[in-house]
């Protein structure tokens, strides 16, 4: 039943709250905290559900609630009851119904700026009025309005409510940067996550003065609980991962390094890469990573040698791959990195393993991530295990931030031509002879590419392998990365060396990297290979198909001369020498992994 | 009708956490000590969720006893 309090939060939490509370109170050790809620609307149910989430986190709250919509008065003029209460945390539950005055059409820009200032001042007064309690202050920002009187213009015209709310929120984040004990509960995000139509209930506002629907309450209460958790240092510190079908698709022990799914070559592989990236990002902000997996250590470690693996072996502070029960490995991990058992989150695709771990060591958080890789991140993220109220790296990075801002400003002025745009993409290509790990992807790409494909020859896996292993062939694959990410393996050349000439049997490229200079880079690499083999003539073939008209002039464009023509099919030739000038000007070319 | 009453009774039992609670059409807020205005909203919200209906503003004010609730549910969910 307590499962209800995990993402995705069950709506029945509100109905079952009494029973849930009884269950939660069975735990023996609690941290007791005084939480004052100052509301700009009705807060009773927010308080009730917040209590559940806090109890679940091991915090037993005593509550103080302001009179209805008396947050301003309580903060500014004080209240004996609040003073006697000695709050550890003050939560100001306000929302856009508490904005006193929105812009009107007749207002000038200056009027609206004044409105904005007034609104902010009112909250700044609240925060400074509360400083005498020397406690943490959690403040809601603002959710977007449900209606947009000006339609889409509401966003970008200063008279719009949407525009006004955005500006207010911006001001709040600046204030939270400045005021050390001020924390923002981001209901702007929470409401968009839920959807504004679900977030609002007009009936409950008019009828009971709830500024949000009951559907929204668990989400808000949970977020506040996680902030409180973070303030008192109770957030989780370590993410323990299973490997097979958790960090990559497939079983490394059975499928081998070439068989596991990771990278950009398939949908599933992409999803695993995204998951690894999420974990890596957690690590770079200070969360410790560990592995607990049933595997031979050597196999497990090998998985992270995959060229597309985002995570590397060294990213893990503790690495337990063996055949011991996972819970005992996880207990060892906690000991090894010297953190409490209740600081661990364990992610495993196998429901049986999850069950055993949470039965054996209930203090470990084991989210029910299911077995669908595309949902793992949600369960870690939305449960807020790793909520944080500050970043250690902030100070170190501040200087860099200013530098970056300067570059950004400079960048705005450029892009007079396409070439400088390409340069701004920071493209890097890996071009190299076929290697076993990419054979599947290469075969797949050969058999499905139709547009940028000079000959549209199809190859079996065996034929691809044959060409790769033959002295008489030059094989090249190309991968392209830019500042927006990895495009994966997207270009292929297979050429046969015959009679001291290089014949391009196959040249294809995925259309997603068109107009990036990638074809130029591939040609440059081919020329390089030829020169190394003492070949000075390259023959190119264009066989017209229903779909490849886009490359009919490719060889012409690259300075090849026409040798033969029969119908629409053409044969081209290029003489090369050491004086060959590289065609690609915008991509930094790197060799593959085969050295 | 009795079907609706059973469902409502279940909701009441959950909200008031009283496994033995029995309600009738005549049951009003005066009969259940904890049935205050705040719990009233909880009951309404649980019913709305259970039957995937939405009470209009006027209806919210009108529901004074269980009988009226049953009547409104049967009208709105039919």
Q: Is A390 a member of any domain?
A: no
Q: Is B64 on the interface with A (CB under 8 A)?
A: no
Instruction: Verify that A72 and A195 share a domain, yes or no.
Output: yes
- 3-state secondary structure (DSSP) of residue A38: strand
Q: What is the pLDDT of residues A497-515, one digit of tens each?
A: 999 999 999 999 987 787 7
Indicate the pLDDT class of residue A11, thresholds 50, 70 and 90: confident
To 5 degrees, how large is the angle CA A26–CA A31–CA A33? 115
Instruction: Verify that A106 and A162 share a domain, yes or no.
Output: yes
**Per the structure, how many domains does chain B have?**
1
At B61 the pLDDT is 74
Of the three residues A173, A206, A231, the one that is the final residue of a domain is: A231
At A592 the pLDDT is 64
Mean pLDDT value of segment A372-392: 92
Residue A31: name the closest of A311, A225, A245 by CA. A225
Q: Are A102 and A115 within 8 A, CB to CB? A: yes
Distance from the Cα of residue A414 to its chain's centroid: 29
Indicate the pLDDT class of residue A395, thresholds 50, 70 and 90: very low
Q: Are A367 and A379 within 8 A, CB to CB? A: yes
Instruction: Verify that A225 and A242 share a domain, yes or no.
Output: no
At A404 the pLDDT is 45
Instruction: Verify that A365 and A402 share a domain, yes or no.
Output: no
Instruction: Verify that A343 and A260 share a domain, yes or no.
Output: yes
Q: Is A175 a member of any domain?
A: yes
Residue A378: name the closest of A391, A368, A365, A387 by CA. A368
Mean pLDDT value of segment A410-416: 50
Chain B interface test: which of A15, A45, A204, A206 (most B C-beta within 10 Å): A15
Instruction: Verify that A258 and A132 share a domain, yes or no.
Output: no
Q: Are A511 and A571 within 8 A, CB to CB? A: no
Instruction: Verify that A305 and A406 share a domain, yes or no.
Output: no
Q: Which residues of chain A make contact with B42, given a CB cutoff of 8 A?
A: 14-15, 45, 214
Q: Are A71 and A92 within 8 A, CB to CB? A: yes
Q: What is the 3-state secondary structure (H, E, C) of A232-297?
A: CCCCCCEEEECCECCCEECCHHHHCCCCCECCCCCHHHHHHHHHHHHHHHHHHCCCEEEEEEECCH
How far apart (Å, rounded) are the C-alpha atoms in residues B76 and B78? 6
Minimum-distance CB partner of A203 among B15, B46, B60: B60
Q: Are A42 and A74 within 8 A, CB to CB? A: no
At A411 the pLDDT is 47
Instruction: Verify that A136 and A251 share a domain, yes or no.
Output: no
CATH of the domain at B15: 1.10.1200.10
Mean pLDDT value of segment A540-558: 91
Of the three residues A191, A216, A231, the one that is the final residue of a domain is: A231
CB contact under 8 A, A203 and B15: no
At A477 the pLDDT is 96
Q: Nearest chain A Cα to B56, which residue?
A: A203
DSSP A356-383: HHHHH-TTSB-----S-HHHHHHHHHHT
Q: Is A595 a member of any domain?
A: no
CB contact under 8 A, B57 and A204: no
Q: Nearest chain B Cα to A208, which residue?
A: B41
Q: Is A19 on the interface with B (CB under 8 A)?
A: yes
Indicate the pLDDT class of residue A442, thresholds 50, 70 and 90: very high
Which two tokens mark A537?
């003539």
**Per the structure, how many domains does chain A have?**
3
How far apart (Å, rounded) are the C-alpha atoms in residues A516 and A502? 25
Q: Which residues of A471-490 are buried (b: 16+ CB within 10 A; e: fewer)?
A: eebbbbbbbbbbeeebbbbb
Which two tokens mark A75?
């903060």
Residue A156: name the closest of A146, A147, A141, A166 by CA. A166
DSSP A124-161: HHHHHHGGGG-SEEEEE--PPPS--TTTTHHHHSTTSH
Indicate the pLDDT class of residue A524, thresholds 50, 70 and 90: very high
Q: Are A243 and A303 within 8 A, CB to CB? A: yes
CB contact under 8 A, A203 and B17: no
- 3-state secondary structure (DSSP) of residue A579: coil
3-state DSSP helix/strand/coil % of chain B, to nearest 5? 60, 5, 35
CATH of the domain at A494: 3.40.630.30
CATH of the domain at A349: 3.40.50.1000
Give the domain range for residue B32.
Answer: 2-77
Chain A: closest CA distance from residue B46 (Å) = 7
Chain B: closest CA distance from residue A132 (Å) = 32
Minimum-distance CB partner of A14 among B42, B54, B55: B42
Q: Are A95 and A41 within 8 A, CB to CB? A: yes
Is 90 exceeded by the pLDDT of residue A289? Answer: yes
Q: Is A197 on the interface with B (CB under 8 A)?
A: no
Q: Are A482 and A493 within 8 A, CB to CB? A: no
How far apart (Å, rounded) are the C-alpha atoms in residues B15 and A449? 61
Minimum-distance CB partner of A207 among B17, B49, B57: B57
Mean pLDDT value of segment A279-297: 93
Angle between helical axes of A439-446 and A461-469 (0-180°, round to 10): 120
Q: Is A392 a member of any domain?
A: no
How far apart (Å, rounded) are the C-alpha atoms in residues A449 and A458? 9
Indicate the pLDDT class of residue A415, thresholds 50, 70 and 90: low
Instruction: Verify that A438 and A299 share a domain, yes or no.
Output: no
Q: Is A388 a member of any domain?
A: no
Q: Is B19 on the interface with A (CB under 8 A)?
A: no
Chain A: closest CA distance from residue B55 (Å) = 8
For B77, phi then psi, to 5°, come to -100, 5
At A392 the pLDDT is 63
Does residue B2 or residue A115 have the better pLDDT? Answer: A115
Is 90 exceeded by the pLDDT of residue A226? Answer: yes
Q: Is A56 a member of any domain?
A: yes
Instruction: Verify that A548 and A490 share a domain, yes or no.
Output: yes
Q: Which residues of chain B make contact with A22, given a CB cutoff of 8 A?
A: 17
Neighbouring C-beta atoms of residue A573, cutoff 10 Å: 15
At A482 the pLDDT is 82
Of the three residues A192, A215, A231, the one that is the final residue of a domain is: A231
CATH of the domain at A50: 3.40.50.1110
Which two tokens mark B44?
């309404």
CB contact under 8 A, A206 and B38: no
Give the domain range for residue A270.
Answer: 238-382
Distance from the Cα of residue A22 to its chain's centroid: 37
Indicate the pLDDT class of residue A175, thresholds 50, 70 and 90: very high
At A324 the pLDDT is 87
């Amino acid at each position: 039943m307590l499962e209800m309090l995990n993402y995705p939060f069950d709506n029945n939490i509100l109905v079952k709250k009494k029973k849930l509370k009884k269950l939660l109170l069975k735990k023996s050790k609690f941290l007791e905290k005084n939480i004052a809620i100052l509301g700009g609307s009705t807060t009773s149910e927010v308080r009730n559900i917040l209590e559940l989430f806090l109890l679940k986190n091991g915090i037993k709250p005593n509550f103080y609630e302001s009179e209805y919509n008396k947050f301003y008065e309580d903060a500014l003029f004080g209240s004996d009851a609040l003073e006697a209460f000695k709050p550890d945390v003050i939560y100001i539950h306000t929302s856009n119904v508490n904005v006193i005055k929105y812009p009107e059409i007749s207002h000038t820009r200056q009027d609206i700026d004044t409105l904005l200032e007034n609104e902010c001042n009112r909250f700044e007064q609240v925060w400074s009025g509360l400083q005498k309690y020397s406690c943490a202050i959690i403040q809601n920002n603002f959710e977007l309005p449900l209606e947009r009187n000006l339609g889409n213009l509401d966003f970008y015209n200063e008279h719009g409510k949407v525009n006004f709310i955005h500006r207010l929120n911006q001001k709040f984040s600046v204030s939270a940067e400045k005021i050390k004990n001020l924390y923002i509960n981001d209901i702007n995000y929470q409401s968009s996550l839920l959807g504004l139509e679900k977030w609002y209930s007009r009936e409950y506002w008019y009828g009971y003065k709830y500024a949000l629907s009951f559907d929204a309450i668990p989400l808000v209460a949970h977020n506040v609980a996680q902030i409180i958790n973070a303030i008192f240092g109770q957030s989780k510190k370590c993410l323990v991962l299973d490997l097979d079908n958790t960090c990559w698709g497939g079983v490394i022990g059975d499928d081998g390094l070439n068989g596991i799914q990771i990278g950009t070559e398939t949908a599933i592989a992409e999803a695993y890469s995204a998951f690894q990236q999420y974990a890596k990002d957690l690590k770079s902000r200070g969360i410790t990573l560990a592995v607990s997996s049933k595997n031979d250590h050597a196999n497990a470690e090998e998985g992270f040698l995959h060229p597309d693996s985002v995570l590397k072996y060294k990213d893990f502070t503790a690495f337990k791959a063996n055949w011991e029960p996972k819970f005992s490995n996880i207990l060892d991990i906690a000991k090894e990195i010297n953190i409490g058992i209740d600081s661990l989150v364990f992610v495993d695709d196998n429901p049986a393993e999850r069950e055993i771990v949470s039965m054996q060591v209930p203090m470990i958080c084991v989210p029910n991530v299911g077995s669908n890789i595309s949902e793992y991140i949600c369960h870690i993220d939305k449960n807020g295990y790793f909520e944080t109220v500050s970043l250690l790296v902030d100070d170190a990075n501040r200087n860099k931030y200013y530098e970056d801002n300067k570059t950004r400003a400079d960048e705005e002025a450029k892009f007079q031509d396409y070439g400088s745009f390409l340069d701004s993409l920071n493209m890097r290509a890996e071009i190299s002879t076929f290697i076993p790990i990419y054979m599947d992807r290469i075969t797949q790409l050969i058999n499905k590419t139709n547009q940028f494909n000079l000959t549209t020859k199809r190859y079996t896996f065996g034929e691809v392998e044959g060409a790769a292993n033959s002295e008489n062939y030059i094989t090249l694959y190309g991968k392209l990365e830019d500042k927006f990410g990895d495009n994966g393996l997207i270009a292929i050349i297979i050429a046969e060396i015959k009679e001291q000439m290089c014949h391009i049997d196959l040249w294809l490229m995925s259309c997603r990297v068109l107009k990036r200079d990638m074809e130029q880079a591939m040609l440059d690499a081919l020329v390089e290979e030829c020169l190394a083999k003492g070949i000075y003539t390259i023959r190119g073939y264009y066989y017209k198909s229903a779909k490849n008209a886009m490359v009919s002039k490719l060889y012409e464009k690259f300075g090849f001369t026409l040798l033969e023509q029969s119908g629409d099919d053409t044969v081209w030739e290029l003489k090369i020498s050491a004086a060959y000038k590289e065609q690609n000007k915008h991509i930094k070319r790197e060799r593959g992994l085969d050295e | 009708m009795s079907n609706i009453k059973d469902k409502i009774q279940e909701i009441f039992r959950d909200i008031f956490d009283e496994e033995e609670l029995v309600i009738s059409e005549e049951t009003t807020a005066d009969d259940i000590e904890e049935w205050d205005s705040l719990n009233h909203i909880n009951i309404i919200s649980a019913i709305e969720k259970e039957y995937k209906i939405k009470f209009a503003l006027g209806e919210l004010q009108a529901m004074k006893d269980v009988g009226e609730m049953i009547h409104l549910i049967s009208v709105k969910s039919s």
